[in-house]
Amino acid sequence: MDVSGPALAQLPPGPSWPGIVQLGAWLLRPFDLMLHLRERYGTPVTMKFPQWPAIVAFDDPEANKEIFRGSSDDLYAGQANQPLGPIVGRNSLLLLDGARHLRERKLLLPPFHGERMTRYGEVMRDVARDDLATWPLDTPFAVQPHTQAVTLDIILRTVFGVETGAKQDALRDALYHLIRDFSSPGLMVSWTQRDLGPRSPWGRYVRTRDRTDALIYGEIDARRADPRPGEDIFSMLLEARHEDGEPMSREELRDELVTMLVAGHETTATALSWAFHHLIEHPSVQRRVQEELDRVMGDDPIDPGRSGELVYLDAVVKETLRVIPVIAAVGRVTQRPTTIAGIDLPAGVLASPSIFLTHMNPKIYPRPERFEPERFLDWKPTPYEWFPFGGGVRRCIGMAFALYEMRMVVATVLQRHRVRRAPGASHRPVRRSVTMAPAAGTPIVVSQR
Ligand code: HEM
């Protein structure tokens, strides 16, 4: 479905630049683009990318609420995620819609329940502690490769249940390459996804994917042949049953495991890099986090069970995801004519709650461009005012996991260290696959407190 011609003309105003220019601006500088469009055209604003439904972006909580609470039979999210298909697979939660999506989501939610977080929290803390031991002291270095390594290791251990050993190292290595080869921004649009041989970016990616899939299927078969109880999400999904009593198929398992890896690894790594950026730019915030850590944890290792007491750190994490949401927008494709906030949209339009523009809406957040964690201390935004994890029946299933992980990693680093900006470094946002990350891998300097 694609809206063009007269139907497009009836949508809210937007730029008349060629679609390819709009897409280029969105891929390279989404934040500047959105602020510019809001200033020039107001909101909602309509954008058009080549071979893509017309996008109508909203920044008003009431409109966001209507989209997030709309019927999942009328508003499809999976359709908007299709470019991820070649990596996550056709059974992926990200790509499914309607009843099948809801059924699959039911299977995936239990391992992410709040009370499991304390158990995962110990893994998160230990992985962060071990990686921190490798950070150079008092010398500039890029922290993003470290946040990537930490979040990858945490997912491998908590989701895949991978520990150490030759077989596990092979799987770890393969998953690492899978993510790396898919990270090129140019591969995020379907028309660059062509296999032109093993040396072409897509060709290289496809070969890596096939190798990785063979290892994942091997692991699924081995675990099915020799079931062992485990706390990891893989073990829980092997036990999960559809409503008709059937277990998940090999393909479903493969697709959902890779989905969690793709959806949860780089997003959290990038969000952590931004957290370090803000802590560097705001030394008084950093000191306040450290005072809180000293008060709650003292010299003892970070206790995941007491992380709920780190309220200021929680506010820092929330403000980090508000100011620069690593995913700038989500969208739902209308399946039939739909009215959102009084605006009539024909079928085939991507109604998009703009995470970034809503987070930058001065009616919700006074002086929205400022980093002020204090806003979250005595105020709780609605799910339509603060939604870095999207919303409604599609809200990120890893939200509690990611927020917990960010608190655990930052706490582990700041308990005994302080961070500052590497001389001359710029942390301007640049695209890393689906996320916007600080430039040059986020150069920082770490010292002992
Ligand atoms: C800071 C880290 C993260 C951010 C910012 C983030 C953000 C998002 C966003 C914006 C969506 C789309 C929601 C929508 O369309 O309304 C999403 C979906 C999803 N996320 Fe996350 N995510 C993060 C971490 C994770 C983690 C750690 C996992 C799993 C381990 C995960 C798994 C998923 C899955 C499976 C979906 C699809 C949900 C569905 O379609 O029903 N994410 N995430």
Domain total in the chain = 1
Q: Tell me the β-bridge partners of 432.
A: 435
Q: What is the rounded distance in angstroms from the CA atom of residue 418 to the CA atom of residue 415?
A: 8
Look at ligand 1, atom 7, and give the residue with the nearest C-alpha. Answer: 389
- Is the Cβ–Cβ distance between 346 and 337 less than 8 Å? yes
Token digits for 419? 């961070």
Look at ligand 1, atom 16, and give the residue with the nearest C-alpha. Answer: 390
pLDDT of 1 above 60: no
What is the reported pLDDT for 172? 83
pLDDT band at 187 (very low <50, low <70, confident <90, very high): low
- For the stretch 81-110, pLDDT in tens is 887 888 899 999 999 999 999 999 999 999
Give the type of residue at 388.
Answer: P
- Whether 96 is in the pocket of ligand 1, judged by its Cβ within 6 Å, is no
Q: What is the rounded distance in angstroms from the CA atom of residue 277 to the CA atom of residue 143?
A: 10
- Whether 151 is in the pocket of ligand 1, judged by its Cβ within 6 Å, is no
Q: How far is CA 66 from CA 63, 244, 387, 418, 443, in A?
A: 5, 33, 14, 43, 41
Q: Residue 44's domain spans which residues?
A: 5-448
Token digits for 81? 């995620």
- Whether 397 is in the pocket of ligand 1, judged by its Cβ within 6 Å, is yes
Q: In whole numbers, what is the pLDDT of the chain averaged over residues?
A: 92
pLDDT of 428 above 60: yes
For a mutational test of ligand 1's pocket, the pick from 76, 389, 408, 435, i.e. the residue with the most ligand atoms closer than 8 A to its C-beta, is 389
Give the type of residue at 53.
Answer: P
Reported as half-sphere exposure (CB side, CA atoms, 13 A), residue 257 has a value of 32
More confidently predicted of 200 and 71? 71
Token digits for 136? 């150079």
Token digits for 169? 């190292």
Rounded to a whole number of angstroms, the CA Rg of the chain reads 22
- Is the Cβ–Cβ distance between 343 and 300 less than 8 Å? no
What pTM value is reported for the model?
A: 0.95
CATH number of the CATH domain containing 80: 1.10.630.10
Token digits for 380? 């709780």
What is the reported pLDDT for 6? 53
Q: What are phi and psi of 122, to 5 degrees?
A: -65, -40
